[in-house]
Structure 1
Amino acid sequence: MRLKFQFLLFLALVTTYACSTGDDAPAEPPLDPDLGKTYFFLEPNKFREYDVYEIRYTAVEISDTLEYQLREEVDEPFTVNGVESRIIRRLTRTQSTDPWLLDSIWTARVEAGRAVSVENNIPLQKMVFPVDTTRRWDRNLLNGQEALTQKYLSFNEPFTQGFNTFLRATEIQVSDDNDENAAGLAITFRDERTEVYADSIGLVRKEYRQVKFCSVGPCANQEIVQSGRYYLETLIAHGTTNEAGN
């Protein structure tokens, strides 16, 4: 009789535990409740520094190569029509021993499930939330230019750049467009652009290749660049502006 009572008590406890872990149990909070907003990092007083490598093509076999450093500083927020934005101070220098010089002022904000960067007075829809690799969105939705569909290539995955590995990063395909000549024999234009953002850091890599190839004369159909631009921006440092030496 005693053994039967103990068995029934054990069965009751098991049943109670099973019920308590059902649908009514509180769910564990997600690691990123905003599902990607921390990748577009706008914490005041933060800075990011980049090495920039740029080639500007002006004609066949004529180009200028530029190498310099870029620094972005996130200023305090300001509010317009109830929407909070941040001023982004952009400074440049030729080499690490030179002083930083102000290059331009951008602004950025996160609103209504999207991240917006206003670059040279042009608002660009850089990210949408929650992040999902099946999502597509128009980068130019807010500026009236021709639609440009972006997509996430990856999310919350490691990304290695040089000797650094960012454990949580997301890669965005800004454009992947190639135009062929009428005969379909050669590429005449290439527009390949990607951006990579790391959690709680922001942009860590930007690579743009927008070039037009020679299509007439001896250089035709050989993918020889006639005009355009190649731009590579890679993160080299980040931190807080009030830290010593920053």
Structure 2
Amino acid sequence: MVACQKTLEPDDKRLGYVYFPLEIGRYVIYNVEELTYRVPNNGIPQRRVYQLKEIVADTFTNLSGEKQFVLERYTRTSFETPWQIDSVWSALRTGSQAIKFENNVPYVKLVFPTENNKTWNGNAYNDKGEQTYRITDFRKPQTFGELSFPNTLKVNMGKDSSLVSHIQREEIFAENVGLIYLFRKNIRYFSDPPNLGLGKIESGKIEKFTIVDYGKE
């Protein structure tokens, strides 16, 4: 009798932890584009372009006894200018969830094991009201500029569109890297009779974060 053995993937990969790696020294750099629309500007956006670097800088033990990771965030306006500290966020990963604290507001970014069409409440630990997150494009390859990622997943974080407004947010995560792309759109359209339904933006913001580099220091 010949014994047949099946080789299982490592737990981190099989469960999806690799989409939200947390290790001191890991960093990701993004190109960021922001378009801000204000009512007095008659639909003409103010454009801001910069780079953001997020690095896992330290750890601490939170009140629940869990290891939480400190995320230092730096910005610069060009390759020639030095990085300036922008903010300090944090994140933790439990056996079933990846939680990121953005300006001290916790969001459930991923749940484990990861699989296509899996849903959860991204606002489970804050007071912003229930918001359904959904995994799509599971294990899909993605390319951004010169960087290619063989296994990624997209998290759709809600979309609401009408004649007067449009709200949308999505994030893409790659194995062994983490967040590689973010898109946020929260705008209002002109709703006076001549402009209703034409899609002319009156106010709000559109943001796009695209990875340009990553590694470990």
- TM-score > 0.5 by shorter chain: yes
Name 2:180's counterpart in structure 1.
Answer: 204
What is the distance in 2 between the residues matched to 1:177 and 1:129? 26
Alignment partner for residue 158 of structure 2, among 152, 175, 181? 175
- Measured in 2, the distance between the counterparts of 1:105 and 1:190 equals 29
Using structure 2 for the length normalisation, give the TM-score. 0.93
| 1:195-237 CA-partner distances (Å, limit 9, x unpaired) | 1111111111101121111111432221101111110101111
Among 124, 127, 132, the residue aligned to 1:144: 127
Larger radius of gyration: 1
Give the one of 98, 112, 117 matched to 1:115. Answer: 98
In the other structure, the counterpart of 1:61 is: 43
CA contact (8 A) 2:58 2:69 kept: yes
Q: What is the deviation of 1:31?
A: 4.7
Gap runs ≥5 in structure 2: none
Map 1:26-65 onto structure 2 (within 5 A): 26-33=5-12, 34-59=14-39, 60-65=42-47
Q: How does 1:75-94 map to 2 (within 5 A)?
A: 75-80=57-62, 81-94=64-77
SS in 2 for 1:218: coil
In 2, Cα distance between the equivalents of 1:114 and 1:139?
A: 10
Is the CA contact (8 Å cut-off) linking 2:145 and 2:212 kept in structure 1? no
Match of 1:73 in 2: 55
| CA–CA distance in structure 1, aligned partners of residues 189 and 144 of structure 2 | 29
Gaps of 5+ in 1: 1-15, 180-186, 242-246
Secondary structure of the structure 1 residue equivalent to 2:194:
helix
Distance 1:165 1:239 in 2: 14
Amino acid paired to 2:191: S
Task: Quote the offset at 1:117 in angstroms.
Answer: 0.4
Note if contact 2:43-2:203 (Cα within 8 Å) is conserved in structure 1.
no
In 1, Cα distance between the equivalents of 2:106 and 2:34? 23
Question: Residues 29 and 53 of structure 2 are in contact (CA less than 8 Å); yes or no, is this contact kept in structure 1?
Answer: yes
The Cα of 1:134 is off from its aligned counterpart by 2.7
**1:193 matches 2:176:** no
Rounded to whole Å, the distance in 1 between the matches of 2:103 and 2:133 is: 20
Q: 1:157 to 1:32 in 2, by over 3 A?
A: farther
**Counterparts of 2:10 and 2:164 in 1: how far apart (Å)?**
45
Tell me the CA shift for residue 172 of structure 1. 1.0
Where does 1:210-229 land on structure 2 (aligned, <5 Å)? 210-229=186-205
Instruction: Give the distance between the partners of 1:109 and 1:239, measured in 2 at CA.
Output: 19
CA shift digits 1:165-203 (9 cap, x unpaired): 211111111122213xxxxxxx22111211111111111
Give the Å deviation of 1:157: 2.2
Considering fraction of residues, name the structure with more helix: 1
Percent of pairs with identical residues: 28
